[in-house]
Amino acid sequence: MTNRLSIKMLFLQLLFAMLTLGFCVILCNIFIPAYYEHLEERKILQAYSDIEELDLADLGEKDYALLLNYENENLNFFIADEDLNPIYSTSDSKNAIHYNIVTKLEKFSYHPEVVSNNGKLVESVKLRGIITQADRDYYVAIKDFTAGEYSITIVEKFYIWMFLLMMIPVSILMMFWLKHFLKPVDRLVWITARIAEGNYEEKAREDGTCVEWNRLSKSINQISEQLLSQMEQMEEGRRQLLKQNVRQERLEKLRKDVVANISHELKTPLAVISNQVEMLEYTEEDREDYIASIQEEIAKMSDMVSRILDGSVLEHQMENMVQKKLDMKEVVEYIVMKYEGLAKKKKLHMETFLSEDCYVYGDREYIEQAINNYMMNALEHTDFDGIIRITLKKQEESIRVGVYNEGKQIPKEELEHIWGSYYRNRTEPKYERNGFSHAGLGLYIVQNAVTMHGGGYGVENVSSGVEFWFTLPCLKSDN
């Protein structure tokens, strides 16, 4: 049978209280009456002794003060001379002397003794004695009516002391009980220590007598299982990493082999170019043929280099992105600043329209590379004194980056193909001014970078030019 920890602790507290109270009641019933009688007997005998020292025939203010002090301790005094005339009475009642002295003369003695109440706190303690002064007898009756308030005070004090004294053996008893009760906790501590050492085989019992212990045991077992699963996953990840490292080593070897082969292959065209240049220095004839031959060899080398650029390698690199929160306004401003010099050199007008609070989650290097490719594309296709416009705005759930350049529009039949690797516009020259061929990878890199970030991309022919754009998922500024 399982119980809640709160119920068991409540039971423990009740048991503690009942044991302590029970022992206190037993001890109080045994010792309090005797203790009470002892205290009252001493007080009454002291009061009787003080009265013997008084001049009963002529009581003064100091004598009344003495009696008043004792009365404040719940003693009542009744004093009469041998003619039974009242000398002093605590009670103002006319019958007080008659009731306490006259009707009980046979109980008065020259050697008085305190009359006990037989251990009952509901009755008073009494003393009746005869004091002789100047050949006259005086009847003195002293009563203690403390069965109420004063006896309760004594009981309270006694209970407090008994309670404090009983806490020691009861606490020892409860300590042994708690030690037995907390055994499951010791077991859980031992199991958690084994888990900390990497031993996940030990399991805690989930069928104990306490609901909370069972729940805690279940949670610890779940944590142990999860840690074991994570360790297995980490081990699997380590094995995969080793495989990846082996693959990387193979790729590195392949790269070195490719570089070596290309170096070997480039020797021949370079030798031809060197020979043709040397011939140009010594002859004026056939210069055009020599120049054409040089350009042909340069084109061959450019094509050879282009062929080693494989799109799958680019994609593999992008899988290693390091993403974090980015302020796109700051990123775009940084890129625009880099291209201001080139724009001024070509006498281009750069316009920016950047919105605030545009945050994304991504790899800054690849996002900057995408914007850089758009900017280079715009600078290349914008004529002198043309306009380049960069826009950044926040849409419903995305951030849109647009780069517009004034100039020729892209033919409609080419719009679907420009994002492919190694693609060149048919209307563009095959070779750049320096004689090297276009690799055709700029927009392909943009496509891969944006796609890896979960965004979209596109191009539009607009009035007097072209706008390239891409979007990225929006990230709230308070994240």
Picking from 370, 299, 357, the residue whose alpha carbon sits closest to that of residue 479 is 357
What confidence score (pLDDT) does residue 401 get?
Answer: 96
Burial class (CB in 10 A: 0-12, 13-18, 19+), 49: exposed
Alpha-carbon distance of 93 to 140, in angstroms, equals 17
**Calpha distance 443→133 (Å, rounded):** 134
Distance CA 64, CA 62 (A): 5
Distance CA 442, CA 419 (A): 8
The whole-number pLDDT of residue 65 equals 92
CA distance linking residue 211 with residue 47, whole number of Å: 65
CA distance 400 to 389: 14
Cα 229 to the chain's mean position, in Å? 25
pLDDT score, position 121: 45
Contact 115, 126 (CB under 8 A): yes
Whole-number pLDDT of residue 471: 95
Distance CA(369)–CA(213), nearest Å, equals 57
CB 337 within 8 A of CB 352: no
CA gap 350, 333 in Å, rounded: 12
Round to whole Å and give the CA distance between 436 and 341.
Answer: 24
* pTM of the predicted structure, to 2 decimals: 0.39
Which residue, 77, 25, 83, 85, is CA-closest to 52? 77
CA distance 292 to 420: 31
The two structure tokens encoding residue 310: 């494989």
From residue 32, give the alpha-carbon distance in Å to each of 17, 42, 120, 122: 21, 16, 10, 13
Q: What is the pLDDT of residue 276?
A: 64
| Token code pair at residue 66 | 């003495």
Q: Is 74 helix (H, G, I), strand (E, B) or coil?
A: coil
Tokens for 383? 């004529």
**What is the CATH T-level fold of the domain 5-167, as seen in this structure?**
Beta-Lactamase (3.30.450)
Domain boundaries defined on the chain: 5-167, 319-473
Q: Is the CB of residue 421 less than 8 Å from the CB of residue 439?
A: no
Q: How far is C-alpha 393 from the geometric centre of its chain's CA atoms?
A: 37
Using the CB atoms, write b or e for 134-169: b if 16+ within 10 Å.
eeeebbbbbbbebbeebbeebeeebbeebeeebeee
Residue 3 token pair: 């119980």
Strand 86-89 with 75-81, pairing: antiparallel
Is 409 within 8 Å of 465 (Cβ atoms)? Answer: yes
Query: pLDDT at position 310, please?
Result: 44
Instruction: Read off the amino acid at residue 263.
Output: S
According to CATH, the topology of domain 319-473 is Heat Shock Protein 90 (3.30.565)
DSSP type of residue 309: -
Give the pLDDT confidence score for residue 129 in this predicted structure. 92
Torsion of CA 162, 164, 170, 175, to 10 degrees: 180
Length of the chain: 479
> Measured between alpha carbons, how far is 464 from 405 in angstroms, rounded to an integer?
9
Please give the backbone phi and psi of residue 98, each rounded to the nearest 5 degrees, phi first.
-65, -45
What is the rounded distance in angstroms from the CA atom of residue 200 to the CA atom of residue 293? 74
Q: Which residues pair with 360 in a beta bridge?
A: 326
* Helix (H) or strand (E) run with residue 477 in it: none
Per-residue pLDDT of the chain (479 residues; tens, 9 = 90+): 445 555 666 666 677 767 776 766 676 666 666 677 777 788 889 999 999 999 988 888 999 999 999 888 878 899 999 988 899 998 876 688 888 888 889 999 999 888 876 544 444 668 899 999 988 999 999 988 654 445 555 666 666 666 666 667 767 777 777 676 667 777 777 778 877 877 777 777 777 666 766 777 788 788 878 888 888 888 888 888 888 788 778 767 766 755 665 664 565 467 557 656 766 776 666 677 667 767 766 776 766 565 544 444 454 455 567 889 999 999 999 888 888 878 888 889 999 999 999 999 999 888 988 998 898 889 888 988 899 999 999 988 899 999 999 988 888 888 877 886 545 555 555 444 433 334 456 787 888 889 889 999 999 999 889 999 999 999 875 56
